[in-house]
Amino acid sequence: MAEEVQKHSVHTLVFRSLKRTHDMFVADNAKPIPLDEESHKVKMAVKLRTEYGSVLHMPTLKENLREKGGANTGDPYGHKQYTGNQGQEVEYMVTGTHPYPSGPGVALTADTKVQRMPSESAAQSLAVALPASQSRLDANRTAAGVGDIYRHAGISERSQPPGMSVAMVEAGGNKNSALMPKKAPTMPKPQWHPPWKLYRVISGHLGWVRCIAVEPGNQWFVTGSADRTIKIWDLASGKLKLSLTGHISTVRGVIVSARSPYLFSCGEDKQVKCWDLEYNKVIRHYHGHLSAVYGLDLHPTIDVLVTCSRDSTARIWDVRTKASVHTLSGHTNAVATVKCQAAEPQIITGSHDTTIRLWDLVAGKTRVTLTNHKKSVRAVVLHPRHYTFASGSPDNIKQWKFPDGNFIQNLSGHNAIINTLAVNSDGVLVSGADNGTMHLWDWRTGYNFQRVHAAVQPGSLDSESGIFACVFDQSESRLLTAEADKTIKVYKEDDTATEETHPVSWKPEIIKRKRF
């Protein structure tokens, strides 16, 4: 027969619980152990010898000598005092950079050991006898600040003991400069840029225009759309030249090669295609991605194509052989954008896992992972002249320095899902967002000099206001945007604008930028 469980009152159970809790926490392991005086002395003596060994032989300041002639005066840790002090009555020792420092009016000879100063009254009378300016000059020449002593001994000023700080003023060191409050950093004045104005709207696609690219000769540009077609347009007139069909889902990326007459495209049908523009036909397929392909870029100096996909990878392809050279894995969510450059790091990706990765092309491995963004990184752009790049996310646009991805600054204010970024060599950065807004920034200062929200084309819903891609043409005098109202909009600089008609409404306010 099973033993009966003994019943206790709630009162007893509560007190037992309290006792258990008390027993658990009564031994407070976080408490510091009691200080052992002997051990502490040994530790401090070693510390003193290590950190201040090169200045321990120097005479002691008057402030530290509370009792005259004490053996351990100013040194509670049993260090031997400078041998010259023993058996003498210490009155006043002068500090300086020389091992045996002098003071005003005291000659320093080759065989001098320790200079014993005259009494204070004698010293004062000696100072009065000299002209005021002369005595100050002599003091500055012969007596040095603590900073000089430490520099002479090869020790940083930060490691000086607290009691030594008084000596800087006494010994002629300039302490006022160190106490001066530093001026808060202010934003430098941004370069003036003329405003951009809409001058052409091109219609023809039957779905969202998702991607856009200008060919190297600047004669025409190409767009890809949710209507599954790729269209080629004349840049000067905006007229349609050619439509290419072949994708069976939304076309998400297009790029024209500068090295061969090829056009590359990718889409949500997992396909990556190479089109021969002499025959307007697909000549190569690049198979390997397991999900929608969101973007692509060509390497500027070698025949390599890089694509990024919703399958969380980027792939490097040999253009000629169609072979997959590397699969760049490491992102934990869809890779939204990829960019290539000739210098290291040669590949940069931005992902919905909020990170940016800089890749080693040869090894096929991550060099650096940047985790500063808090939300998806859908856009990355490389500056055409500087060794820098920018990334766009709903939390911020951030600028970075190559090769290690050092943070430069935040460009705050475009509070929307940023789909695309473009920059020209004049330092105009453009950010296009999912809500149809476009902000123009001065690259160097991060000043937002223009905001644009173009009218939606008639026949489209207001909700279809969105910018999916934007690009400058090769002359950088035109800006083309691919939009959700099924149009391509072309902007140009306002030639009539001057700095007087459109002044920079800039105030040199104190910068309040966050690191993250």
pTM above 0.75, yes or no: no
Q: What is the mean pLDDT of residues 465-488?
A: 96
Gap between the Cα atoms of 225 and 254, Å rounded:
10
Residue 68 lies in a domain: no
CATH of residue 250's domain is: 2.130.10.10
Q: Indicate the SS3 state at residue 409.
A: strand
Residue 115 lies in a domain: no
Of the pLDDT bands very low, low, confident and very high (cuts 50, 70, 90), residue 26 is: confident
pLDDT tens, position by position, 62-73: 544 444 444 444
Q: What is the mean pLDDT of residues 215-244?
A: 97
Residue 330 lies in a domain: no
| Separation of CA 61 from chain center | 46
Q: What is the mean pLDDT of residues 95-111?
A: 50
Q: Which of 354, 334, 244, 248 is nearest to 294 (CA)?
A: 334
Residue 347 lies in a domain: no
Q: What is the mean pLDDT of residues 98-110?
A: 51
Gap between the Cα atoms of 294 and 282, Å rounded:
19
Helix/strand/coil (H/E/C) assignment for every residue in 323-373: CEEEEEECCCCCEEEEEECCCCCCEEEEECCCCEEEEECCCCEEEEEECCC
Residue 90 has pLDDT above 60, yes or no: no
**Do you know the residue count of the chain?**
516
Q: How many CB atoms lie within 10 A of CB 360?
A: 16
Residue 87 lies in a domain: no
Q: Are 335 and 309 in contact (CB under 8 A)?
A: yes
Residue 476 has pLDDT above 60, yes or no: yes
Of 375 and 135, more confident: 375
Of the pLDDT bands very low, low, confident and very high (cuts 50, 70, 90), residue 235 is: very high
Most confidently modeled range among 57-61, 175-179, 386-390: 386-390
pLDDT tens, position by position, 279-325: 999 999 999 999 999 999 999 999 999 999 999 999 999 999 999 99
Report the number of distinct structural domains present in the chain: 1
Of 10 and 124, more confident: 10
Helix/strand/coil (H/E/C) assignment for every residue in 375-396: CCCCEEEECCCCCEEEEECCCC
Which structural domain, as residue segments, surrounds residue 214? 196-288+365-493
pLDDT tens, position by position, 155-189: 444 444 444 444 444 444 444 555 566 666 666 88
Least confident of 136-140, 249-253, 386-390, 426-430: 136-140
Least confident of 161-175, 188-202, 351-365, 366-380: 161-175
Q: What is the mean pLDDT of residues 401-417?
A: 95
Residue 236 lies in a domain: yes
Most confidently modeled range among 8-22, 177-191, 343-357: 343-357
Residue 83 lies in a domain: no
Q: Are 358 and 391 in contact (CB under 8 A)?
A: no
Cβ burial of 450 (10 Å; 0-12, 13-18, 19+) is middle
Least confident of 20-29, 72-81, 395-404: 72-81
Gap between the Cα atoms of 179 and 241, Å rounded:
70
User: What is the layout of strands, in order, in the sheet containing 324-329?
Assistant: 293-298, 304-309, 313-318, 324-329
Residue 488 lies in a domain: yes
pLDDT for res 358: 97
Q: Are 329 and 316 in contact (CB under 8 A)?
A: no
